[in-house]
């Protein structure tokens, strides 16, 4: 039996050791997915097995490829906002914000503080909701059904708030270049505050169900270990990188949208195993609530869109119908798109899955010449062939869940 790889998992090591040499074993090829419950979408893993031990893993992507980058080259900047909903469809608000910030970077446009605060609250709520789903689904993957019910109850409350803010539960399309679609409704901020207050004790209960759960610990601790060097070499970002002990959080290190105004801690792991990644996500939810509470406490009054950017942000409807100048601007922004200068920018935001980047090449005008979307799930998954090798098949499920990827974003 080839042992040119280490056995990261003690069970796999034992299974390998007790195998008597007189058994002639044959490698088996197993196609896991694209519609396997643990692949969270449409990912196919072409596994090569020796008994129960994975000796090779070749992820097959592209089942959800929609050509978003090609589409982006053919529509105005604002028209692309709904497409960003469908990248990481578990945190559409965070993607909206990342995209708007990227295009505003191109225009060198600063949005008012109120708009920044709204965007921070949206991003952090999206992070909580994405991690809640990731956690619930991870619980199911490793056999803890109850978690899912608790996290989905909380997530539903968040979606109620999203619906009240944006008009949609999932496909929010809330940001516009230079602002947001509409100001927060009356009383909404207080509702978010009330949600945060009741959420924290429930979050502790949820995490308590897993953190000291013997079965959960056995399924995750020491499984799928990613070293610091590997995490950097494969370009991991977000909780997966921090789980391996690299304290890189773009909210802290390259603050955007006013994140520098809020106090929060960056959680990092010590061992880089599945359990550490779970712990990092748990702590991130607490920190997100902390950020939301600060943002609500200092919620600025004033404009919620960049008023001076008349060629970029469409004027209010009441003005459009009464004033010539606004009517023309509205028409031009709708038909020609928000007017951008020529140039190249690359902007990354810390979304729940990691660093979501937009590389925009503009030749001026309202349509990007080229837009590359750097999706965190795509990079996070690229480590699978390395990290699955030498593990048991059941650990593959555990590793997949701990990487917390979304195929809509991976395949774009």
Partner 1 sequence: MSSLAAAPATDLLAVLQARFPAAVARPSGDHPAFNLPMAEVPAALLLLRDEHGYDLLIDVTAVDWDVEASPRFSVVWHLLSSTAHGYVRLVADCVSDAEPTAPSVVSLWAGANWHERETFDLMGIQFTDHPDLRRILMWDGYPFHPLRKDFPLAGIETPLPDLEVADLTKASVLPAPMMGGPFVASSGEMNLTEAEPRAKDESWNERSAKPAVL
Using CB under 8 A as the criterion, which residues of the chain lie in contact with partner 1 when the complex forms? 61-62, 65, 67, 69-71, 74-76, 79, 105-106, 108, 230, 232-237, 246, 248, 253-254, 335-337, 341, 343-348, 355, 357, 359, 361, 367, 369-370, 372, 374, 378-379, 381-383, 386, 411-412
Burial class (CB in 10 A: 0-12, 13-18, 19+), 222: middle
Helix, strand, or coil (residue 50): strand
- Which CB sits closer to partner 1, 69 or 193? 69
Nearest to 285 by CA among 303, 267, 307: 267
* Contact between 82 and 68 (Cβ < 8 Å): no
Tell whether the torsion through CA atoms of 358, 407, 61 and 219 is positive or negative: positive
- Which CB sits closer to partner 1, 64 or 140? 64
Q: Whose structure tokens read 């970077």?
A: 105
Instruction: Count CB atoms within 10 A of the CB of residue 391.
Output: 24
- Which CB sits closer to partner 1, 165 or 371? 371
In angstroms, give the least distance from the CB of 307 to partner 1. 23
- Which CB sits closer to partner 1, 118 or 226? 226
For residue 131 the two structure tokens come to 């991690």
- Which CB sits closer to partner 1, 147 or 373? 373
* Contact between 216 and 312 (Cβ < 8 Å): no
The H or E element containing residue 140 is helix 113-141
- Which CB sits closer to partner 1, 57 or 192? 57
Half-sphere exposure of 387 (CA within 13 A, CB side): 32
In angstroms, give the least distance from the CB of 257 to partner 1. 15
Show the DSSP H helices in 373-412 as ranges.
376-381, 384-388, 393-403, 407-411
Cα separation values, 258 from 51, 130, 168, 239, 350, Å: 53, 22, 26, 21, 13
Long-range contacts at 250-253 (CB < 8 A, ≥ 24 apart): 250/348, 250/349, 250/350, 250/355, 251/350
In angstroms, give the least distance from the CB of 329 to partner 1. 18
In angstroms, give the least distance from the CB of 5 to partner 1. 15
In angstroms, give the least distance from the CB of 290 to partner 1. 22
In angstroms, give the least distance from the CB of 127 to partner 1. 20
- Which CB sits closer to partner 1, 33 or 139? 33
In angstroms, give the least distance from the CB of 40 to partner 1. 18
- Which CB sits closer to partner 1, 294 or 377? 377
* Number of helical H runs and strand E runs in the chain: 18, 8
In angstroms, give the least distance from the CB of 26 to partner 1. 24
């Amino acid at each position: 039996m080839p042992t040119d790889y280490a056995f990261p998992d003690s069970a796999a090591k034992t299974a390998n050791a007790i195998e008597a040499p007189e058994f002639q074993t044959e490698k088996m090829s197993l196609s896991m997915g694209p519609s396997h419950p643990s692949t969270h979408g449409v990912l196919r893993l072409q596994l090569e097995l020796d008994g129960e031990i994975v000796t090779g893993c070749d992820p097959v992507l592209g089942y959800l490829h929609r050509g978003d980058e090609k589409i982006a080259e053919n529509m105005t900047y604002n028209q692309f906002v709904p497409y960003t909903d469908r990248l990481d469809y578990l945190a559409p608000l965070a993607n909206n914000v990342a995209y708007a910030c990227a295009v505003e970077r191109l225009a060198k446009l600063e949005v008012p503080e109120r708009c920044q605060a709204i965007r921070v609250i949206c991003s952090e709520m999206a992070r909580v909701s994405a991690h809640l789903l990731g956690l619930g689904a991870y619980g199911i993957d490793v056999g803890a059904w109850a978690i899912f019910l608790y996290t989905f109850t909380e997530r539903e409350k968040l979606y109620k708030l999203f619906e009240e803010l944006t008009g949609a539960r999932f496909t929010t399309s809330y940001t516009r270049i230079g602002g947001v679609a509409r100001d927060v409704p009356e009383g909404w901020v207080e509702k978010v505050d009330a949600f945060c207050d009741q959420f924290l004790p429930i979050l502790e209960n949820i995490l308590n169900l897993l953190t000291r759960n013997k079965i959960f610990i056995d399924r995750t601790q020491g499984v799928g270990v990613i070293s610091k060097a590997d995490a950097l070499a494969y370009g991991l970002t977000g909780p997966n990188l921090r789980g391996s002990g690299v304290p890189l959080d773009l909210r802290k290190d390259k603050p955007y949208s006013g994140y520098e105004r809020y106090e929060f801690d960056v959680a990092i792991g010590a061992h880089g195993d599945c359990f550490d990644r779970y712990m990092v996500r748990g702590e991130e939810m607490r920190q997100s609530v902390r950020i939301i509470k600060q943002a609500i406490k200092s919620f600025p009054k004033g404009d919620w869109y960049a008023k001076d950017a008349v060629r970029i942000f469409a004027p209010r409807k009441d003005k459009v119908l009464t004033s010539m100048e606004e009517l023309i601007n509205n028409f031009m922004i709708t038909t020609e798109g928000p007017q951008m200068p020529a140039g190249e920018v690359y902007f990354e935001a810390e979304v729940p899955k990691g660093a979501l980047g937009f590389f925009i090449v503009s030749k001026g005008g309202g349509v990007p010449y080229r837009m590359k979307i750097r999706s965190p799930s795509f990079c996070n998954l690229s480590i699978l062939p390395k990290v699955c090798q030498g593990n048991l098949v059941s650990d593959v499920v555990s590793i997949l869940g701990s990487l917390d990827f979304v195929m809509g974003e991976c395949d774009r």
